[in-house]
Structure 1
Amino acid sequence: MEVKEGYLKDYVSGQVIKATPEEVEAVQVFSRVLVEDYGYPAEYLQTRPQWRVKVRPSDNRKEYPVDIAVFSSDSHSEENIQIIVECKKKNRKDGRSQLEDYLRFSKARIGVWFNGDERAYILKREEDGKVTFSDLPNIPRYGQRLEDIGRFTRKDLIPATNLKSVFKTIRNYLAANAVGITRDEVFAQQLINLIFTKIYDERFTKPDDFVTFRAGVDEPEEDVKGRIVDLFEKVKEQYSDVIEVADSIKLDEKTLSYVVGELQQYSLQESARDAVGDAFEVFIGPSLKGGQGQFFTPRNVVKMMVDMIDPCVNSKIIDPACGSGGFLVESLRHVWKKVESNGSEYGWPSNEIEAEKQKVAIKNFRGIDKDYFLSKVAKAYMAILGDGRGGVFCENSLESKENWSSSTQDYVPFGGFDVVITNPPFGKKLAIDSEDILKNYDLGHKWKHDSDSDAYEKGNVLDKQTPQILFIERCLDLLRPGGTLGIVLLESIFGMPKYRHVVDYIQRKTKIKAVVTMPEDLFQPHTHAKCCILICEKKSNEQEQEQEQEQEQVHDIFMCDVKWCGHDSRGNPTIRVNADGEEELLDDIPFVAEKYLRGPSDD
């Protein structure tokens, strides 16, 4: 079925409808959430034709159209309607008021208001002929009773299908309702504290036991906060070298209960995307991120790079611009799968496999970031996932090694890593102008091309250089000969004449294995910079000499031009309807590593 531009296929009914902002950003999103996160059968939902409810008791025509109606069976009737979802673009107060009107003359007891940015859950009660409404922490999953909300055992938790949407909703609620907090950085810190608290709860709760991170129906908000604060104290005790004693849960009781209600049914450990990275994309806006070049790498690109490099169990891995730890976490997961596979092959008991995974995290993973807050987040995240916290340091990677702390110098030896994988900072306004730093780098100097010898000669120290260029050299400093570098670079480095000496430097120092160009949408809506992924292998001194003597062998380079990256310029998923009438995400990135690892072919 062909769907014309400006239209979409309704997730529930399959009908082709106009792709209005309300449909794209709210109705279709929440329809999918009801099915994929809450488990409601799609046939129990009705979107088209719209279910209608009365405007007033005497209304026989039922004039109010409902965006999403949820029933207790596939037989849709007034008697078995359970939930009404209103998705109009209103503010929270007006949206809730209209939703209460819908519920007042309906048999449904539960209402949801969702406008794409914010959510509210309300419960209708009828006592002595009087209708009242109260807040709910969430709605029941399919098969749950109302009183079961928040009563999850650890094995009941499910991965989230769209964590970014959940965090966006939380961010907007906090901005409008949190008492005493107004700054995004504080919101981010609070949410990060809660994420780590939740992950701790997931790790240290037995499968059949109820989780502590929960908020129930009619539960006093002070009880919810007391339970979460107590749990956070255990997090600080467990990871005292990561989370400071002064850290605290500062959200007011009502706001904290809301956040817990939004997150309680999900397993953050098992969710497909990095929860911390998603939180930062939402909570730290472009104005804060862009100025320091902190554009967090989309998870599909991180996984692609890790899969292409394919580190082994014993690989020593470092990200010298680690941010919140995305590359480290994905690399850790990749290596852990190999540990589990080895353990299964040799029949190791589960506790021995877990011990080996922890050993790998502690021994082989390192990260550096100059931003104290980000390095702290990466350290804490590694601690909770795999206890690799001792390998994350707050330093300026571009400084002379002698200026690092003694601990960093001990744990981060030059020439000591098998894999360097990173997305160094870039931005128009970023530049290193310290001569003390620039003089230590070949790429911190001017280079002049000699047309007779077709070679470059190093000149004086530059007045300034972008950090991304210097990071290329620093990454190679960290690699052992034969080690692999995976790095995100501006595509202009490979196309503009002023960067020819940089390309020459890369070709002299490494064997280029792959260049993958990315679409301009990759880092949008934060920046329009067009990037590529470079995978290369550091040469030994002997190999460099062979190249100078023109004895180096010609080799294949994997080249790939990615057209779709999974989202558009506004950050929305690029979903299209295929020839079979099914929705699919336009994202070429997951297929790149497989093609690369398959090697040269005739197709």
Structure 2
Amino acid sequence: MANFDIDKKQLQDEVVLDDNQLVCVLTNSIKTATEKELLLQSIINQMDEEYEFNLSDMKRDYSFSYEDDEGKKKRMTIDLAIFRHEAEKEPENIERICIVFDSKAKESDKKKGVEATLHKALQATGCDFGMWTNGDKQFFAYRKEDEIGNERIEDISDFPGCDETIENLENMGDRAQPRKAANDTLIRTFKRCHDYLYGNEGRKKDAFWELLNLIFCKIFDEKRRFTDAEKGFSYRRQFWVGVTEQNTPEGQATVAKRIKDIFERLKKDDLFKTVFDGNEQISLSDRGVAYVASQIAKYSFLDATVDVKGTAYETIVSNTLKQEAGQFFTPRNIIKCMVEIMNPNQHCRVLDPACGSGGFLVMVLDHVRRQITRNIYADRSEAEIDALSNTDETVNKIVRQYAESMIFGFDFDPDLKKAAKMNMVMAGDGHSNIFNINSLEYPFGSLPDLERINEAVSTSVGHRGDYATCDEHAAKDSAFGKFDMIFTNPPFGSKVEVAQGIVEHYDLSAWIKSPEGLFIEQCYNFLKPGGKMAIVLPDGILSNPNTEKVREWILSKFKLIASIDLPVEAFLPQVGVQASLLFLQKKIGIELGQKEDYEVFMAIAEKVGKDRRGNPIYKRDDDGAEILYPTKKEWAARNRHGELITRSRVERVRRLDDDLPEISEEYKKIMGI
């Protein structure tokens, strides 16, 4: 994003927001931030970014008069009306209608439901296409007239975008160009699908996994765009749903068969078969498959940024694995800060020995992907870099090679191993080196992937040819001493116990037996001489008198690069812990035991963009008013002809009150990164 230079005081005088207010992206007016208003803002952005309608052709809260069937004059208000380009804002010029309610409204309600509002609006205006949503559910409708003027309204899976017709959607089918998801669209879509499976398919225990199976069918089908081209085949989408296909049992069965056939193929594919055991099945009804497929078929997962996909994916993970296993994952802003400070490149072999759902690994992959894209397309804008980093074949080939050979993740939870693999595939592959082991037990243990790690690491070293820089004291076929960088947030706390048979293998166990303390030593073992580590640690290790020996051990083995103190809000509301980010570099032999004098970057993050309840907090002025920043938002996406088009809009936005981006920028400035 590019920011305009504007005096903050002047901006404050023009617009002052209370805590429950926002500025409408369409009208630039202040609105109360109700659930409905927030959803409406999302729909406006969606119509602009995904469907490519111009903001100048939209009008919110549009009221007009009409005559009902009995000739009585009535008045109606449409939440969002979209008019023909540059046409007068009259009812006869409306091309799309969007009806928006909060989650309390039900689709069958006699006053607020689909028929009572959307169908009525279509009939009153003569508009052909409309959408009804309450956030949790979304319905599209198509008003049709036969040759003699009889009117019928039909459910459809989507409505056409700007300059598109229903015939475009019907005729293109397997050749249609999916849209690039805007803002929170994927989050809402994933949640909508998950809730549907949970509530309508009886999948209370495995809705998450059933949804992921279908998401992976979609990703597999999109990746054929590249793999078919490499084989000289003409690509045709197979993961698609016809405009009215889900309306009949026959159509639902056709969709389900198409999707299930994809699933059987992907389980045997070289890229995907390591994610699945091979005996998985899509166990949903034909209706359930058709519903979910209709929701996600319209979006391009490869074109979506890793940040958009990662946020959507982790939203579903957080509502499933966290609740089931008490898992608490690292917030994305903390992960991003750690990765930006360490600045890995495509020559770095990276490990997270407690990888969870793969948040660090995905962020590393995206960081390196953008570096590669910038190197190839140095003259392109940031918006184009965003798009090309996900869609360019040359970039994808280099990124895939890097991810498959240089990114590693270990976790002792088999469900998290699978979740991390899926997260990596969604982000751009590199899932083959995600292993189910207890990192603290390595090189011993009995978990199934233990024997595969040494071979995978040896293959990686052979691929890069960097054995000479590895730790000469570690065995050649061992994972010890082979990694350039480690990113991790190890499990910590008094409730997490480590078996005595594991503890006794660690020097640090003389002073600390908690997992986070032992992870420090094990990470040291995994690193090359000169290798770097970014780790989340509880402040007790860094400040308690009884852990002084641990700190002495750390400083004897590592150079301290940087330390960032986090506020208690960092991991709330999941868990309240005072923690810091520690950045360390493993000393090489000649440095061990030497007297040292060097500079250390230190910072205190007082705000991390949220309060103790997890609610977002935004930057404010000295009087406590939220500051609005005029911002030019640019994005690039491929149109239905495959052309890369850059579009933009100017909007006033709040910024999260988060010190971490400023801290990472200051570090990069000092270090010349």
1:271-296 CA-to-partner distances (Å, cap 9, x unmatched) read 22356643553334557415745333
Structure-1 separation of matches of 2:282 and 2:327? 26
| Structure 1 unaligned spans of 5+ | 448-461
- 1:214 aligns with one of 240, 256, 271: 240
Task: Report the TM-score when normalising by structure 2.
Answer: 0.75
Structure-2 separation of matches of 1:429 and 1:66? 56
> 1:253-272 counterparts in 2 under 5 A?
253-272=286-305
Q: Quote the residue 2:482 is aligned against.
A: 416
Q: Does 1:21 align with 2:35?
A: yes
Structure-2 separation of matches of 1:568 and 1:256? 39
1:400-450 CA-to-partner distances (Å, cap 9, x unmatched) read 422252222443611211101122234x67411421122223443446xxx
Q: Quote the residue 1:406 is aligned against.
A: 451
1:539-562 CA-to-partner distances (Å, cap 9, x unmatched) read 24543412xxxx211323242526
Q: Quote the residue 1:174 is aligned against.
A: 197
> 1:447-526 counterparts in 2 under 5 A?
465=514, 467-491=515-539, 493-494=541-542, 500-518=548-566, 520-526=568-574
Q: Does 1:196 align with 2:196?
A: no
- 1:187 aligns with one of 186, 204, 207: 207
Give aligned-pair identity as a percent.
28
Q: Secondary structure at the match of 1:407?
A: helix
Q: Tell me if the contact between 1:519 and 1:565 (Cα under 8 Å) persists in the aligned partners.
A: no
Q: Quote the residue 2:143 is aligned against.
A: 124
Q: Quote the residue 1:561 is aligned against.
A: 605
| Structure 2 unaligned spans of 5+ | 1-13, 246-250, 379-391, 458-477, 620-625, 631-650
Q: Secondary structure at the match of 1:260?
A: helix
Q: Tell me if the contact between 2:42 and 2:183 (Cα under 8 Å) persists in the aligned partners.
A: no
> 1:360-439 counterparts in 2 under 5 A?
360-382=402-424, 388-403=430-445, 405-410=450-455, 411=457, 413-426=479-492, 430-439=495-504
Residues 354, 132 of structure 1: alpha-carbon distance in 2 compared, 3 angstrom cutoff? closer
Structure-2 separation of matches of 1:513 and 1:114? 50
Q: Quote the residue 1:594 is aligned against.
A: 665
Structure-1 separation of matches of 2:298 and 2:91? 29
User: How many residues are treated as equivalent by the alignment?
Assistant: 570
Residues 60, 445 of structure 1: alpha-carbon distance in 2 compared, 3 angstrom cutoff? farther
**1:504 Cα deviation after fit:** 4.1
1:467-510 CA-to-partner distances (Å, cap 9, x unmatched) read 33332222222112211101233455545556555444433332
Q: Quote the residue 1:67 is aligned against.
A: 79
Bigger mean CA offset, 196-205 vs 273-282: 273-282
Q: Quote the residue 1:87 is aligned against.
A: 100
**1:566 Cα deviation after fit:** 7.7
Structure-2 separation of matches of 1:353 and 1:83? 38
1:225-276 CA-to-partner distances (Å, cap 9, x unmatched) read 2222222222112133332321222232223222222222322223223566
Which amino acid counterpart does residue 598 of structure 1 have in structure 2?
K
- 2:584 aligns with one of 525, 531, 536: 536
Which amino acid counterpart does residue 555 of structure 1 have in structure 2?
E
Q: Tell me if the contact between 2:629 and 2:655 (Cα under 8 Å) persists in the aligned partners.
A: no
Structure-2 separation of matches of 1:287 and 1:180? 16
Structure-2 separation of matches of 1:108 and 1:353? 43
RMSD, matched Cα = 3.4
Which amino acid counterpart does residue 197 of structure 1 have in structure 2?
C
Q: Tell me if the contact between 1:2 and 1:579 (Cα under 8 Å) persists in the aligned partners.
A: no
Structure-1 separation of matches of 2:591 and 2:284? 58
**1:114 Cα deviation after fit:** 2.0
Structure-2 separation of matches of 1:245 and 1:109? 45
Q: Quote the residue 1:454 is aligned against.
A: none
> 1:253-332 counterparts in 2 under 5 A?
253-273=286-306, 277-285=310-318, 288-289=321-322, 292=325, 294-332=327-365
Structure-2 separation of matches of 1:32 and 1:524? 30
Bigger mean CA offset, 437-446 vs 55-64: 55-64
Structure-2 separation of matches of 1:533 and 1:492? 13
Q: Quote the residue 2:166 is aligned against.
A: 146
Which amino acid counterpart does residue 496 of structure 2 have in structure 1?
A
Structure-2 separation of matches of 1:151 and 1:571? 41
State the structure with bigger RCO (CA 8 A, min sep 6), 1 or 2. 2
Q: Tell me if the contact between 1:325 and 1:367 (Cα under 8 Å) persists in the aligned partners.
A: yes
Q: Secondary structure at the match of 1:488?
A: strand
Which amino acid counterpart does residue 419 of structure 1 have in structure 2?
M
1:376-400 CA-to-partner distances (Å, cap 9, x unmatched) read 2333554576553432211111224
**1:70 Cα deviation after fit:** 1.9
Structure-1 separation of matches of 2:423 and 2:481? 26
1:71-125 CA-to-partner distances (Å, cap 9, x unmatched) read 2234221112122222222123323243334334332232322223332223334
Q: Quote the residue 2:125 is aligned against.
A: 106
Q: Tell me if the contact between 1:418 and 1:484 (Cα under 8 Å) persists in the aligned partners.
A: yes
Q: Tell me if the contact between 1:161 and 1:271 (Cα under 8 Å) persists in the aligned partners.
A: no
Structure-1 separation of matches of 2:609 and 2:304? 20
**1:528 Cα deviation after fit:** 4.3
- 1:76 aligns with one of 76, 89, 95: 89
Structure-2 separation of matches of 1:111 and 1:171? 24
